[in-house]
Structure 1
Amino acid sequence: MKKHDCKLYLILFIGYFFYQCQVTSHQFNTLPVESSSVQIPQPSKQHPMVDFQVIKAADWEVPLAGLLNLEDPQSKLANLKDKPEPISIYFYLIKHPKLGSYLIDSGIGESFTKGKEELLVSSIVASQMNFDKLKIFETTKNFLEKNKIDLKGIFFTHLHLDHVMGAYEVNRNVPFYVGQNEVSDKQFINLFVQSSTNRLLGENANLIELNFGNKGQGLSIIDFFGDQSLFIISVPGHTAGSLAFLIPSKDGGHLILGDTCHTRFGWLQNVIPGSFTSNPNLNRKSLDGLKSLVSSYKPKYIYPGHQERIVSDIK
């Protein structure tokens, strides 16, 4: 091994143990909320229903080894190998009949349509994110303006860069809700992405961590509006504060997995993500919890983090 290689490894070794940092240096507030592990009730006529819309912001491609654990027996049985995998970037609109409009994740901002010189991420991050394969269909600002949406908040499945790429276009007063420990958790990789996350969240981001309290057995769940129209589910693993969402509806209900499961194959074959996930063991528990939730609640539509929805056949 060459001398300068030894120095590089020493720097990385020291950095790993002593210089881990948060995903963003923005300040945040904590919102204590009541949590529950009880079974979510089936929708009824007595409970309000929110309008729900899926918006595809872009198509992209990333390494399959990041999206799926290729060492899982199901992956090996399917003879899956690492390769560029087509994915999409989605965000979701929730319109509550009394409390207004919210997004889940933030889509993509207009700067990403203007070439590398306009990107709000560092050159190091840009070099790793394969932006030349990004095909944008809808920007966040354009969607909000053309639909005349007065946004009341954004719920983030988590704060990985591909989920915050439209946040800087949103009014600074709009609260950004994230899962418990999503901001406060420290990871070595954040040394490289923190500055980019800061810029994408925008100046003076109104960050609010949802505090699920002490977690018992099973999933921790919030009835966010208090009327059983939106359930927020703590699913740590992919990141410390990853969230999933259950939206009851007249047509059978919608379950948004976030990146607890990126792909259709992952959900259908019960395979956790690969190298993109920070804690595989916790991700396993959270995915199993969501599988259990589906078996009891039976939502009709299931949305992996980055591929088309799955129509559930559970009766």
Structure 2
Amino acid sequence: MLQRVFQIICLLIFILGISCQVTSHQVKLYPVKEASELGISLKPKNLVEIQVVKVADWEASLSGLLDLDDPKAKLAGLKDRMEPISIYFYLIKHPNFGTFMIDSGIGESFTKSPDGFLVNSVLASQMHLDQLKIYETTKSYLSKNKINLKGVFFTHLHFDHVLGAHEIDRSVPFYVGPGEVTSKQFINLFVQGSTDRLLGENPNLFQLDFGKDKTQISVLDFFGDQSFYVFSVPGHTPGSLAFFIPGKPNSHLILGDSSHTRWGWLEGVTPGSFTTDRNLNRESLNFLKKLEELNKPRFVYPGHQERISNLEK
């Protein structure tokens, strides 16, 4: 009898898990028109200014950040260890449409006792949130710089990219990639509650809908003036996003966590256990490498380490 009850409980947990989204918050679809053949222009009609803000230093397992079974990683003799990383957000300032963020920084509660963290204690421990060295919080930065935020793009909804979302005004639109919310995964059974709290009460949440297979790479000219391109690059998560900003004299490629580290990007090695689908991540990483080769951005920004200048190559 007890065995039967245990089996039923396990079945219920499994059913709940496979039907669980990363957040239970309501999400609206944001239909977009795809640019033809993933084409981009290096002659924007307007120039967008980008500002990079490092909000914290941190550390994470190298086996999560990099696929240590990749032949290049083995040849380099890489072994699992704690790797120094950082958390960033990016400000995108458009001359007509105003200021947007990419990712959300970190909230004031994470500067205090772990008892006040919005992430449950087990996850906070596993993520080593007690190792965060915080330099800047989201609300403080936006306030002291008098930034009237018009929207936030999330590279994806892993905790370390939404730690400051709850401090952002509820009217500000939050944009996520295709399938980022509506895709269902077992792991979400354990993270959904924390993600809900981090996004805050009643977030103005939009999921970009390219109107096609969510596993395909897609592109959006968001402002319609070739100044800011949003790429759907699934793999790390179902709706991971990357961004390309043409400019004079410099252009910028923001990778999100399609590549966490400088070494991973330079060597073309995908992330490890932190990634949902390594095969899709490989396709997206290959696409981004090709994008770099064709368009030669001045700076490339890995998800969690300092930018890479093309002069380093």
TM-score range, shorter chain: over 0.9
**1:275 corresponding residue in structure 2:** 273
CA contact (8 A) 1:151 1:174 kept: yes
Shift of the alpha carbon at 1:216? 11
Q: Tell me, in whole angstroms, the C-alpha distance in 1 between the residues paired with 2:224 and 2:177.
A: 18
Deviations 1:198-242 (A, max 9, x none): 001000001000111225997311000001110000000000000
CA 1:151–1:116 in structure 2 vs 1: closer, same or farther (change >3 Å)? same
Per the TM alignment, residue 58 of structure 1 is displaced from its structure 2 partner at its CA by 0.2
Distance 1:108 1:216, change over 3 A: closer
The correspondence for 2:199, drawn from 198, 201, 205, is 201
**Cα 1:118–1:253 shift into 2, 3 Å:** same
- Select the residue among 36, 60, 72 that pairs with 1:62: 60
Matched position secondary structure for 2:174: strand
Question: Which residue in the other structure is 2:220 paired with?
Answer: 222
Between the aligned partners of 1:74 and 1:15, the Cα distance in structure 2 is 39
Which residue does the alignment assign to 2:112? 114
- Within 2, Cα distance between the matches of 1:23 and 1:83? 28
CA contact (8 A) 1:157 1:243 kept: yes
RMSD: 2.2
Task: Find the residue that maps to 1:186 and give its secondary structure.
Answer: coil
Corresponding residue to 1:99 among 97, 100, 106: 97
For 2:25, the aligned partner's letter is: H
Q: Which runs of 5+ in 1 are unaligned?
A: none
Question: What is the total number of aligned residue pairs between the two structures?
Answer: 310
The equivalent residue for 1:165 is 163
Q: 1:8 to 1:120 in 2, by over 3 A?
A: farther
Instruction: Give per-residue Cα distances to partners, 1:112-149, cap 9 Å, x unaligned.
Output: 00111211111221121101210000100111011100
- Residues 33-62 of structure 1: per-residue CA shift (max 9 Å, x gap): 111233311135xx1111110000100001
Deviation of 1:300 (Å): 1.0
Secondary structure at 1:183's aligned position in 2? coil
Deviation of 1:152 (Å): 0.4
How many Å apart are 1:19 and its aligned residue?
2.5
> Taking structure 2 as the reference length, what is the TM-score of the superposition?
0.94
Give the counterpart letter for 1:41 in structure 2. Answer: S
Q: Which amino acid aligns with 2:30?
A: L
Residues of 2 paired with 1:166 and 1:65: CA distance? Answer: 26
The amino acid across from 1:43 in the alignment is K
Percent identical among aligned pairs is 59
Q: 2:42 maps to what in 1?
A: 42
1:43 match: secondary structure: coil
Question: Structure 1 residue 28 and structure 2 residue 27: aligned?
Answer: yes
- Give the match's secondary structure for 2:235: coil
Q: For residues 17 and 72 of structure 1, what CA distance do their matches in structure 2 show?
A: 34
Could you tell me which residue of structure 2 aligns to residue 149 of structure 1?
147
Give the deviation of 1:98 after TM superposition: 0.9
| Secondary structure of residue in 1 paired with 2:285 | helix
Task: Answer whether contact 1:295 1:314 (CA < 8 A) is retained.
Answer: no
Measure how far apart 1:196 and its partner are: 0.5
Cα deviations across residues 263-284 of structure 1 (Å, max 9, x unaligned)?
A: 0111000000000000011000
* 8 Å Cα contact 1:15-1:188 kept in structure 2: no
Normalising by structure 1, report the TM-score: 0.93
Distance in 1 between residues matched to 2:87 and 2:11, nearest whole Å? 34
Separation in 2, partners of 1:11, 1:283:
34
Q: Distance in 1 between matches of 2:137 and 2:224?
A: 31
Distance in 1 between residues matched to 2:86 and 2:11, nearest whole Å: 35
